[in-house]
Structure 1
Amino acid sequence: MSLLDSRTRPTHQWLRPVAVASAVLLLGYGLLRLLDRLDGHSDKGAWAWNTGHTLFLLGVLGFAALIVGLHGLLRTRSSRLRTLDDVAAPAGLVGAAAFVWVILGDLFPRFADAVPTPGLVLYGGPLLFEVGLLVLLYRAAAARLLPVWAPVLVLAGFLAIAVNLNLLPVGAALVLAGLLPLRVTPRPVA
């Protein structure tokens, strides 16, 4: 019997609900962004703009929790790729922090004035976030916690968003579809 038996082992049952909620928040942001732009321009500070950015902020924080949870869950399994997990998780978290920095600057102009956003944060942050999360999702698929097609959908969602921000709802729906089948116990081998 290990020191951490099934009664004391930390559970990761919260991972799937957080993953799904984060993708739904991203979808809500995308829909509100489209709503805000119906008149042809963005109304910074309007209710749809503020609410959408707040949903985006909460979604990014949820994705950061997902990164931490996936890293912890994958570390409980014996793995020759543990170093990859140990690099991907901090990279994803640095990227999430960059997103938070930018979102806070959008929501609070005084924050943006006090702490200007360097271009590296603006462009490198999203890339670190996406690569870190995707590496962990592919590792989760290898551990049979996700079907192999699920990280591909998440990647397709991120690519759609990168191509055109007006595709945010489509990209978020793909991310949601990719995260829905997440499990914390491996799928049985067929």
Structure 2
Amino acid sequence: MTSKLVGLRGPVLIAPLMLVLYGLLRLVDGLDGEHGPGLAWNLGHTLFFIGFALFGVVTLRLRQLVPATTLRRRLVANTAAAVGLFGVVCFLWVILGDLFPRLDSAAPLPEPLEMVGPLAFQLGWLTLLVMPAAATPRLLPAWSPLLVLVGFLLFAANLDLLPIGALLLMAGLAPVARGSGPPSATAPQGACLPEQNPSSR
């Protein structure tokens, strides 16, 4: 279990970094007053795609953090992870359509899913972040889901705020990258997580 968690720590911080770079390239692309095909557009959307593909991996990492101590908790966590992954797939579909207009013309994402997809991604993630933050013992600081929520709100307010919002996501996910995962369902209550060795981060 520990080796799997270590392997997922990189994407937790790399994914929002890809979003930061995409946001910056988007600003560069829009300097002429338009957003459209070109080097900045294509490179930015390629990084955007990589970032969201990694967000799929991060969703699995978030699911691993939730203590699966009861059937209800497992059901909620599994549902949140599935909803979050559904949102990731919707984003990837749209990004591919932006990169390959012919693909978008042949198989566009249905309009209702364009609206539902981002909400599903955000709702799934926030649920998976709040659950370990509200657990006993607490596995994430309370400010972790709060920073991620503020980042999402900045995305919704103005896409030009993508770099700032993505940095907030990175900050909010930093404890996830450092975490060692939830205690097992058979562990006695009050058991503490082992401290991380700074040299292994």
Contact kept in structure 1, 2:64 and 2:181, CA below 8 Å? no
Q: 1:184 aligns to what?
A: 180
Question: What's the RMSD between the two structures over aligned residues?
Answer: 2.0
Q: Quote how far apart the aligned CAs of 1:109 are.
A: 0.9
Change (3 A) 1:114 1:142: same
Q: Is structure 2 residue 109 aligned with structure 1 residue 113?
A: no
TM score, norm. by length of structure 1: 0.87
Whichever structure has more helix as a proportion of its residues is 2
Matched residue, 1:4: none
Q: Distance in 2 between matches of 1:22 and 1:86?
A: 22
Deviations 1:40-94, CA, capped at 9 Å, x for gaps: 211x22111111111111111111111122223436x424411110110110011
1: distance between equivalents of 2:42 and 2:165?
A: 21
Unmatched segments (≥5 aa) in structure 1 = 1-7
For normalisation by structure 2, the TM-score amounts to 0.82
Q: What amino acid is the match of 1:134?
A: L
Q: Does 1:19 align with 2:12?
A: yes
Aligned to 1:131: 123
CA distance in 1, matches of 2:165, 2:73: 29
Unaligned runs of 5+ residues in structure 2 are 183-191, 194-201
Q: Structure 1: how far apart are the matches of 2:9 and 2:152?
A: 19
Q: Which one of the candidate residues 140, 143, 166 is aligned to 1:146?
A: 140
Return the offset for 1:185: 3.9
SS at match of 1:14: helix
The one-letter code of the counterpart of 1:90 is A
